[in-house]
């Protein structure tokens, strides 16, 4: 009787084929997992940028002195308002005596115009003079924005609705702010 001391060539090839199949399947699973994690990370980064942009809009509107667009009880695809520059001078001139009713202690050149709007799929913030005729700076607030709508109700509250397009769905984010306090 002859005893076998090893594997036959057929058994070895079969074992190698099974190991190759298992390694191939594991490699494919790892590749799919890596792609899914990368996509989730990109979506999270976009979502965080959108949330930061919405917070910036809320902070700006809370400091607004005069909201120009949208009009009360209307919605509009852009938001325009006036705001005083940070660190402006409250008393540009001496206090007149007697004090006229139209006197404003703030320097007139300390007002700036701010406009938020969508340009393609990018939400931008434009800074200009108070007449919106001289553009001073443009900043990107968020990217991958599918749509935006600003609305103001009769009590001067501003709501911002922003939609974000993902691969298989559209995410809608909405925030609301109280009217500016002067």
Strand order in the sheet with 145-152: 74-76, 145-152, 158-165, 170-177
pLDDT in tens, the chain (182 residues): 567 678 889 999 999 999 999 999 999 999 999 998 998 888 888 788 888 888 888 888 888 888 888 877 777 788 998 887 765 555 555 666 776 676 666 666 678 889 999 888 899 999 998 888 888 889 998 888 888 888 888 887 888 888 887 777 778 888 888 766 65
158 domain-assigned = yes
Residue 13 lies in a domain: no
pTM of this prediction?
A: 0.69
Does residue 8 form part of some domain?
A: no
- Residue 51: exposed, middle, or buried by beta-carbon count in 10 A (0-12, 13-18, 19+)? middle
Write out the residue range of the structural domain in which residue 31 sits.
Answer: 21-87+120-182
Q: Which residue has the tokens 């120009």?
A: 68
Closest alpha carbon to 93 in 79, 83, 107, 73 = 107
Decide if 27 is inside a domain.
Answer: yes
Residue 172 falls within a domain, yes or no? yes
Residues in contact with 79: Cβ distance below 8 Å, sequence separation at least 6, in sequence order = 57, 61, 67, 69, 70, 115, 116, 117, 150, 158, 160
Domain count, the chain: 1
d(CA 93, CA 105): 8
């Amino acid at each position: 009787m002859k005893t076998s001391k090893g594997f036959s060539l057929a058994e070895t090839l079969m074992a190698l084929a099974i190991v190759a199949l298992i390694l191939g399947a594991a490699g494919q699973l790892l590749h799919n997992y890596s792609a899914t994690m990368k996509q989730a990370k990109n979506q999270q980064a976009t979502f965080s940028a959108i949330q930061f942009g919405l917070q910036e809009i809320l902070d700006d509107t809370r400091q607004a002195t005069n909201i120009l667009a949208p009009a009360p009880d209307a919605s509009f695809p852009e938001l325009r308002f006036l705001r005083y520059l940070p660190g402006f001078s409250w008393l540009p001139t001496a206090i007149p005596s007697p004090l006229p009713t139209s006197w404003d202690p703030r320097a007139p050149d300390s007002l700036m115009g701010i406009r938020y709007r969508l340009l393609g799929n990018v939400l931008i913030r434009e800074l200009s003079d108070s007449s919106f005729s001289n553009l001073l700076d443009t900043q990107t607030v968020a990217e991958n924005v599918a749509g935006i709508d600003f609305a103001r109700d009769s009590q001067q509250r501003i709501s911002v609705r922003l939609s974000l397009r993902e691969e298989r769905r559209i995410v809608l984010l909405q925030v609301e702010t109280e009217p500016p306090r002067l």
